[in-house]
Amino acid sequence: MKILSARQGRNPIRELSTPATAIVLGIVVFVISLYADYYWMMILRDALVFGIFALSLDYLWGRTGLLSFGHATFFGIGAYAVAILSTNFDIANITLLALLAGILASGLVALLFGYFLLFAGVRGPYFTIMTLALTVIASHIAVAWVDVTGGDSGITGVQPLSLTLGDFEFVIFAPQTGLYVALALLLILLLVIWKVATSRYGRLLKALEVNELRARTLGYNTPLHLVGTFTISAMIAALAGGLYASFAGYVAPDLIGLLLSTKVIVWVAVGGRGTLIGPVLGAVFVMQIERELSSINTSLWPLFIGLFFIAMVFLFPNGLVGLVQDLSGKMSKNQKKGGTESA
Amino acid sequence: MTITSLVPSVMNALTLISVLMLVAMGLGIIFGMMRVINLAHGEFVTIGAFTLSVLQELGGSYWLALMVAPIIGALAGLLVERLIVQHLYTRWLATILATWGLSLIIAQILQIIFGAGPQSVSAPISGTMDILGASYPAYRVFIVLFSAAVLGLVLLMFSRSNFGLDIRTVIQDRDMAEALGIDTKRVFSKAFMLGAALAALAGVLVGPLAVVIAQMGVNYLAKSFFVVIVGGAGSFWGIGAGSAFVGGLETVFTYQMPVTLAQALVLALGIIVLRFRPQGIVPHANIKW
């Protein structure tokens, strides 16, 4: 009981800080964008897109405790849908339509996958392993179905996002425009997910992680809520993937494979699972380190991720943000002296 | 359709099934015993295949590799178990993340040492042989027969030896096994080494048929976990059923469509099977998630 109340006391504070942090993030990115050159504009834009991707995983993993080891599948479905449709059809607004199609397709895959597994009671490690199998198969298809996906070399010449209504035309071509679109979408998603997370429904999702059986006993159709969360998370991931493809102008199999799936786990873990804004910052921060390290030697990065996973498990199981919180918590507890025991 | 025309597809299926069984056996047993998920298991297959490549490069024979690889695999398994898995028994998420990190490290180190290109390995037997009037590659026949012999020994060990009895006891009830004086951690340690040795052996067997690169392990990892989940963890026959399901269907579909599509279809069918048999095709009474 004590442990539970301690947890409930801490979480809302962490979640409440999201709107303020999001506004600060928005202002900081905007100010940087005024001074950044073309190259940094692109880097910042991609970082924000991957921030959306990290947010999608945190909505699933951070809320319900279900870990997807194959989230790049959904990112990749979004990216490939935009690439394939926009290079094959020449009609107005095709990229925008393709983005929506990708989001729907991704949601459908997640819905079917989730329906069969989650309603069968597949949870925890089994669910994680099945998502791993999903991403391996998805990347096989991306590599081997050369006629459609371009195989290893991928697809180039992806059309930029544009909106044409009569005489009105808006094309997202310059990195700066892409940056603002990504920033706006990221902030909207952050606020909406934060709103959901702090609502009654958010508490239910949290209850699914803490004790699903109890939630079911209270009359909630728990598999349904898990499938719903998984599907929404997959659709957000596809949005990020579609944006990435339309901004970058090309797609390749590394957008759908296991390595990207594990990268996004690192971003969320570094930023702090369940903190929403943390994973976004984690994505920006870790990608910058990756760029620095890869400029020294490209084979260093997988080694670094590997070591990070092992170090995380043994040294800081709650992520870097959790580590900082634990340390500061310990210090303040020592100051107060005789604080309550907590887990 | 005559028997002769069926021979190649049946033998292809048997090749895939026997390799899958060798790789998945270790995963299924250690999961059954301690609920441990080892994502570095695929690297034992890679280690086996690389052992073959290195030994052949040095002038050694295939048969030497077939004997050495399981030993190296078992030692690698011992290291992984001692350094990482042993400390994380009760935390499945931690185990998944740590062993995944280890898997990335092993694959990357192998790639740094041996390069990104495929390693050269050669089969000890070439040519074809005659089965019921159909000619079929002799090496694949060897894989099937040799795996069957090894798996037969494993089954015998499970059902007849004291070690097998200990393993089955731990799978059935770990607390009770400890109360009866079984050193469960020691038994687990040995079972882990056995699983790693079998995977390394499978690596040698598939080496001449597969593309031997540092990242080859992950395909076997994903597939053999799928075998364990669909077939049912913790029992020999669960792994057998899962391997037959995955290997059999994949081979049948491959005759009709591209191999990746076949794999996707098998995954989809497996997921549907799980909806109706969540504990796998051969459920173990004491293993639930």
Q: Where exactly are the structural domains of chain A?
A: 2-336
Calculate how close chain B gets to A294, using CA atoms only, in Å. 14
**B63 in any annotated domain:** yes
Restricting to B residues 99-138, those with a Cβ less than 8 Å away from any Cβ of A are 100-105, 107-109, 111-112
Calculate how close chain B gets to A302, using CA atoms only, in Å. 6
Does A146 reach chain B within 8 Å, measured CB to CB? no
- Eight-class DSSP state of B130: E
Smallest CA-to-CA distance from B280 within B239, B228, B232, B227 is with: B232
Does B182 reach chain A within 8 Å, measured CB to CB? no
Distance, first Cα to last Cα, chain B: 44
Residue A321 is predicted with a pLDDT of 66
Residue A35 has pLDDT above 80, yes or no: yes
Calculate how close chain A gets to B199, using CA atoms only, in Å. 18
Q: Tens of pLDDT along A158-171?
A: 888 888 777 777 77
Q: Tens of pLDDT along A45-103?
A: 999 999 999 999 999 998 888 999 999 999 999 999 999 998 888 887 888 899 999 99
Residue A4 is predicted with a pLDDT of 41
A292-301: average pLDDT:
80
Q: Which domain holds residue B35?
A: 13-123+133-213
**B115 in any annotated domain:** yes
A142-150: average pLDDT:
86
Of A67, A120, A308, the CB nearest to B93: A67
Q: CA-CA distance, A226 to A238, in Å (whole number)? A: 18
Residues of A in contact with B261 (CB under 8 A): 141, 145
Tokens of B8: 């190649």
Q: Do A258 and B92 touch (CB under 8 A)?
A: no
Residue A273 is predicted with a pLDDT of 82
The pTM for the full model equals: 0.84
Phi and psi torsions of A155, nearest 5°: -125, 130
| ipTM entry | 0.82
Q: Tens of pLDDT along A178-201?
A: 889 999 999 999 999 988 888 888
Residues of A in contact with B274 (CB under 8 A): 116-117, 120, 122
Q: Do B261 and A314 touch (CB under 8 A)?
A: no
Predicted confidence pLDDT, tens digits, chain B (289 residues): 577 778 888 888 999 999 999 999 988 888 888 778 888 999 999 999 999 999 998 988 899 999 999 999 999 999 999 988 888 877 888 888 889 899 999 999 999 999 888 888 888 888 888 888 788 888 899 999 999 999 999 999 888 888 888 888 888 888 888 888 888 888 889 999 999 999 999 999 999 988 899 889 888 888 888 898 888 887 888 899 999 999 999 998 988 888 888 888 888 888 888 888 878 888 776 554 4
Calculate how close chain A gets to B91, using CA atoms only, in Å. 10
Burial of B30 (0-12, 13-18, 19+ CB in 10 A): buried
Restricting to B residues 70-89, those with a Cβ less than 8 Å away from any Cβ of A are 84, 87-88
Residue B53 is predicted with a pLDDT of 92
- Chain A, nearest residue to B222 by Cα: A133
- Give the CA dihedral A27, A30, A31, A32, nearest 10 degrees: 120
List, as one string, the DSSP characters of A52-69.
HHHHHHHHHHHHH-PPPS
Number of domains in chain B: 1
**B18 in any annotated domain:** yes
Smallest CA-to-CA distance from B37 within A261, A131, A71 is with: A131
Calculate how close chain A gets to B161, using CA atoms only, in Å. 30
**B269 in any annotated domain:** no
The answer to whether the CB of B247 falls within 8 A of the CB of B239 is: no
| pLDDT confidence band for A332 (50 / 70 / 90) | low
Domain A2-336, architecture per CATH: Orthogonal Bundle (1.10)
